[in-house]
Amino acid sequence: MLLNLDPRSNTPIWEQVVHQIKELILKEILQPEDKLPSVRELSGTLLINPNTVSKAYQELERQGIIETLRGKGTFVSASITPKADEQKIAEMKQQFKQLVIDASYLGIDQQTLSLWLKEITEELGGNNDND
Amino acid sequence: MLLNLDPRSNTPIWEQVVHQIKELILKEILQPEDKLPSVRELSGTLLINPNTVSKAYQELERQGIIETLRGKGTFVSASITPKADEQKIAEMKQQFKQLVIDASYLGIDQQTLSLWLKEITEELGGNNDND
Amino acid sequence: MLLNLDPRSNTPIWEQVVHQIKELILKEILQPEDKLPSVRELSGTLLINPNTVSKAYQELERQGIIETLRGKGTFVSASITPKADEQKIAEMKQQFKQLVIDASYLGIDQQTLSLWLKEITEELGGNNDND
Amino acid sequence: MLLNLDPRSNTPIWEQVVHQIKELILKEILQPEDKLPSVRELSGTLLINPNTVSKAYQELERQGIIETLRGKGTFVSASITPKADEQKIAEMKQQFKQLVIDASYLGIDQQTLSLWLKEITEELGGNNDND
DNA sequence: GTGGTCTAGACCACT
DNA sequence: GTGGTCTAGACCACA
């Protein structure tokens, strides 16, 4: 499993790992019940510390996206139920607004954002039918 | 000038200040050439550390959104030219993607995001006719 | 013998086995002198590692609850004498306290706990008349 | 702030810290808005690693019991709202049952447990009126 | 000053 | 083999 990490980014490495694994699952590259690489293995591949991977895995587990089976390893959850947490949705909308504002100052208008949204949705939902 | 700051939020306070001033400008509540409150004044109003306000102003200046005239104060720039910095646009798209992914795990679909986008654009651009 | 094991739980599987066998004995579903399934048999039924069952049996034997007769198998002890180990009782009280604290933060009050205690005692002690 | 830590216990140190802080809050020794010792300070007092304290604080924050204000420190939340999470309550009842079972094998009967429950509740709810 | 992140490396319990 | 915990010590951003 290869992830794209940027150690210079402001977003912590463990969070980048979380994001990208979530993306892989959405794209169905990682499927329910699939085994994730072990903490040591992934830390070796990504050239980061095991603790950092561990933190990412723990966060993913906290979100109900993966599960760890004692002594066996870590697996993608069989059923990922979205929690409609009101508060988090409000936060997300707020983030979204800030993003739109920042975009505006980069000269990006609504149409472009709308296009991006479409592109991204297709990229994520486009599964692997035509592989 | 009243801003809505949340000290519990993960986004640093100076960044919240930056965001909200940018929003006020987009909404044309703050207009070009308008004078901003002094660092000391604003820090007093918002009950935050002057250094924090200062950092926010520096960032806004760096983005070309406000200008400091020595001895006179700080003013909204007369003309804010969007910098079409390719790299920053790519970063923004990346951010956007991560947001869509996170939204997806909260059960928020494309339609909802599309709606939000429309709402936000209207809220911001209400008087952006002559751009 | 069917036990309810949850591989996702935080309590180790061998401990879940220990708990549930203790429960079966309390409920007199397993009676003194009854033969327990062999390690291999039980591990096959429960689809878990033989080492795990073995560890559970060892723990139960350590507590004096079951006995192994070489070449014959494993049996529920004829007389289970509660050890009034002061230290263990103190530990238990400590555990109990932590549980009450955690319950409190979940909005569970003393009355509810008291009710639970009654329920559980009835469930377990239904035929404990002649102790 | 002095906590009683047992490095030999099975429960991890960070969890012991979490438990005991929760207890201090219930006893109103720590009151809403109170500042907790800094990570470094507490780690110095308890002779444990700062990371361990940090982990405890992060868990407490995740539970909504404390809040961190960037650069200022960590504080007891003003209002702690118990979340009536069905699933967690079920888990708690399960734990409670296992505890009753274990107690039974130590010769502790329902009456004793009932007494303990009363004692503990009084200890926790007894505030600091008579200090 | 504060907490958050990361590395290095160790030890442990579980399967 | 697996993940979880802990220590030691470093660096950074925030206020």
CB spacing of C99 vs D103 below 8 angstroms: no
Among the listed residues B81, B3, B12, the one whose alpha carbon sits nearest the alpha carbon of residue B36: B3
DSSP string, chain D: ------TTSSS-HHHHHHHHHHHHHHTTSS-TTPBPPPHHHHHHHHTS-HHHHHHHHHHHHHTTSEEEETTTEEEE-S--PPP--HHHHHHHHHHHHHHHHHHHHTT--HHHHHHHHHHHHHHHHTTTTT-
Instruction: State pLDDT tens for residues B20-72.
Output: 999 999 999 999 999 999 999 999 999 999 999 999 999 999 999 999 998 89
Strand partners, C36: C74
Residues making up chain A, counted from first to last? 131
What confidence tier does B131 reach under pLDDT thresholds 50, 70, 90? Answer: very low
Per-residue pLDDT tens digits for A19-66: 999 999 999 999 999 999 999 999 999 999 999 999 999 999 999 999
Residue A86 has pLDDT above 80, yes or no: yes
Q: Which of D36, D58, D76 marks a domain boundary? A: D76
The reply to whether B112 falls in a domain is yes
What is the arithmetic mean of pLDDT over A4-18? 95
Does the distance separating the beta carbons of A110 and B117 come in below 8 Å? yes
Q: pLDDT at position C101, please?
A: 96
Report the nearest residue to nucleotide E12, CA vs C1': D10
Both D66 and D91 in a single domain?
no
B32-36, long-range: CB < 8 A, 24+ apart: B32/B76, B32/B77, B32/B78, B32/B79, B32/B80, B33/B75, B33/B76, B33/B78, B34/B75, B34/B76, B35/B73, B35/B74, B35/B75, B36/B1, B36/B66, B36/B73, B36/B74, B36/B75, B36/B76
Residues of C in contact with D104 (CB under 8 A): 26, 82, 124
Instruction: Specify if A34 maps to a domain.
Output: yes
CB neighbours of residue C99 within 10 Å: 18
pLDDT at D126: 55
Token pair 């404390």 is found at D66
Domain count, chain D: 2
Interface partners of B (3+ CB pairs, < 8 Å)?
A, D
Nearest CA in chain B to A98: B19
Residues of B in contact with A110 (CB under 8 A): 117-118, 121, 125
pLDDT at B128 over 60: no
A85 has pLDDT over 90:
no
Task: Please report the pLDDT score of residue B105 as a whole number.
Answer: 95
| pLDDT at position D87 | 87
In a domain, B131, yes or no: no
pLDDT level of residue B125 (50, 70, 90 thresholds): confident
A55 & A91 share domain: no
Interface of C with D (CB under 8 A): 19, 22-23, 26, 63, 65, 80, 82-85, 88-89, 92-93, 95-108, 110, 113-114, 116-118, 120-121, 124-125
pLDDT of res. B130: 43
Structure token pair of residue D94: 């399960």
pLDDT in tens, B63-109: 999 999 988 999 999 988 777 788 889 999 999 999 999 999 999 99
Cβ atoms of A93 and A86 within 8 Å: the answer is: no
Residues C68, C96 within the same domain: no
Task: For residues A11 and A3, give the distance between their C-alpha atoms in angstroms, rounded to a whole number.
Answer: 15
Whether C6 is in a domain gets the answer: no
Residues D90 and D64 in one domain: no
Domain membership of residue A68 (yes or no) is yes
Mean pLDDT of C54-60: 96
Which tokens go with A46? 């990504």
Q: Please indicate, yes or no, whether residues C70 and C17 belong to a single structural domain of this protein.
A: yes
Residue B95: domain span: 86-125
Same domain, B17 and B71: yes
* Cα within 13 Å of Cα(A127), Cβ side: 3
* Residues forming a β-bridge with B67: B75
Confidence grade of residue C131 (pLDDT, cut at 50, 70, 90)? very low
Cα distance between the two ends of chain D? 18
**CB-CB contact of A77 with A34 (8 Å):** no
Which residue in C95, C15, C5 sits closest to D11, CA to CA? C95
Looking at residue B84, what is its pLDDT? 74
CA distances, A1 to each of A39, A46, A54 (Å): 12, 9, 15
Say how far A8 CA is from F9 C1', in Å: 21
Distance CA D110, CA D99 (A): 11
Q: Quick check: is A55 in a domain?
A: yes
pLDDT in tens, C87-106: 889 999 999 999 999 999 99
B49 CB contact with strand F at below 7 Å: yes
The pLDDT value recorded for residue D80 is 86
**Parallel, antiparallel, or unpaired: how do β-strands D66-69 and B73-76 relate?**
unpaired
Q: Which two tokens stand for residue B44?
A: 């007093």
If asked whether residues D90 and D72 sit together in one domain, one would say no
Structural domain includes residue B81: no
* Mean pLDDT on C17-39: 96
Is B62 in the same domain as B107?
A: no
Q: Note whether C66 and C26 are same-domain residues.
A: yes
Report residues 65-104 of A contacting strand E, contact meaning Cβ closer than 7 Å: 70-72
Q: CATH number of the domain that D27 lies in?
A: 1.10.10.10
Measured between CA atoms, the residue of chain A closest to residue C48 is A72
Ranges of chain D whose pLDDT falls below 50: 128-131
Of D19, D80, D104, which is closest to C98 when you measure between CB atoms? D19
Q: D22 and D58: one domain?
A: yes
In this prediction, residue B68 carries a pLDDT of 93
What is the C-alpha to C-alpha distance for residues D24 and D17, in angstroms, rounded to an integer? 11
Q: Please tell me whether residues A20 and A62 are part of one structural domain.
A: yes
pLDDT at A126: 55
Residue A129: what pLDDT? 41
| Distances in whole angstroms, Cα of residue A124 to Cα of each of A112, B101, D111 | 18, 8, 59
* Shared domain check, C108 and C58: no
Residue B27 lies in a domain: yes
B106's enclosing H/E stretch is none
